[in-house]
Amino acid sequence: MHASHAQAAKSPALLWYLTEPSRAVVDFGQLATARSVLRTAPRGDGHPVLVLPGLLASDASTTSLRWFLNRLGYRAYGWNLGRNIGPTRAAVEGIRNRLTEVADGHGRTVSLIGWSLGGIYARELAREHPQHVRDVMTLGSPYRLTAPTETRAHRVFSMLSHLHVPESELPPPHHTRPPLAMPATSVYSEHDGIVSWQSCVEEPGYGRQNVAVTGSHLGYGHNPAVLWLAADRLAQPEGEWRPFSPPAGLARRYPSDISHRLS
């Protein structure tokens, strides 16, 4: 990326922010029209999947996604830590224990799917415990955040910061570290009204892909394009990787990749 991320990223458009709730409802409604296509989604080997919710959300927010994955034969788990209020001591230690519990319980590696802040957690878990993680998918997760204005959730996060672990215990910035050791898919939307899409993508390469979808931030967990993408990525044999290619029936829900605008 030749231009700096700081130059490219900006606050999400006010229009997209104000219409987030209504657009999330539309995303949910599209599930019905996409049902026939989703029935043909790829099926994998039934390995465990741990799904982490976003800021102020709980496992209830990921119900549709986990239900869909369970229907495909996977063992999809919530994080079981209540509402996500940020990196509290309970959350930091709890997700580590949850990952170990799921991995040891199945005797195999775990796929991680994280929505927004949950995706940042997922990437850090993958760095800390690569022996337990098969692959990572982030949904509108601003892991390349460089300024508070790149997310409209920064005021809420700041209000809760007194409950979080000390800043000295937080990981270093993303750009100072190498890519993840396992396959990683970063899902983003140019119409995300909560976080800047530029903060949700990384330099693509083997095992790393940014995939654009049409939809809202609050609708990632039940967006048909995201559900199909999750099924496609999880169905890949462990240790293998190929770039994602949209199915014909959902092609219009995947706009042309826009992350090249960072170059």
Q: How many helices (H) and strands (E) does the chain have?
A: 9, 6
Smallest CA-to-CA distance from 128 within 187, 177, 165 is with 177
Question: Could you give the CA distance from residue 37 to residue 39 in angstroms, rounded to a whole number?
Answer: 5
pLDDT in tens, 204-225: 999 999 999 999 999 999 999 9
Whether 204 contacts 175, CB under 8 Å: no
Contact 48, 74 (CB under 8 A): yes
Q: How far apart are CA 44 and CA 59, in angstroms?
A: 23
Q: pLDDT of the chain along its 263 residues, tens only?
A: 434 444 456 789 999 999 999 999 999 999 988 999 999 999 999 999 999 999 999 999 999 999 999 999 999 999 999 999 999 999 999 999 999 999 999 999 999 999 999 999 999 999 999 999 999 999 999 999 989 889 999 999 999 999 999 999 999 988 789 999 999 999 999 999 999 999 999 999 999 999 999 999 999 999 999 999 999 999 999 999 999 999 888 989 999 887 765 54
Q: Report pLDDT for 159.
A: 97
Q: What is the DSSP code string of 67-120?
A: HHHHHTT-EEE---S-S--SSBHHHHHHHHHHHHHHHHHHTS-EEEEEETHHHH
For residue 2, the model assigns a pLDDT of: 38
- Answer whether 0.75 is exceeded by the pTM: yes
Nearest to 141 by CA among 81, 94, 184, 183: 184
pLDDT digits (tens, 9 = 90+) for 115-141: 999 999 999 999 999 999 999 999 999
Instruction: Write phi, then psi, for 203 (nearest 5 degrees).
Output: -60, 120
Q: Look at residue 164 in the predicted model and tell me its pLDDT.
A: 98
**pLDDT value of residue 262:** 52
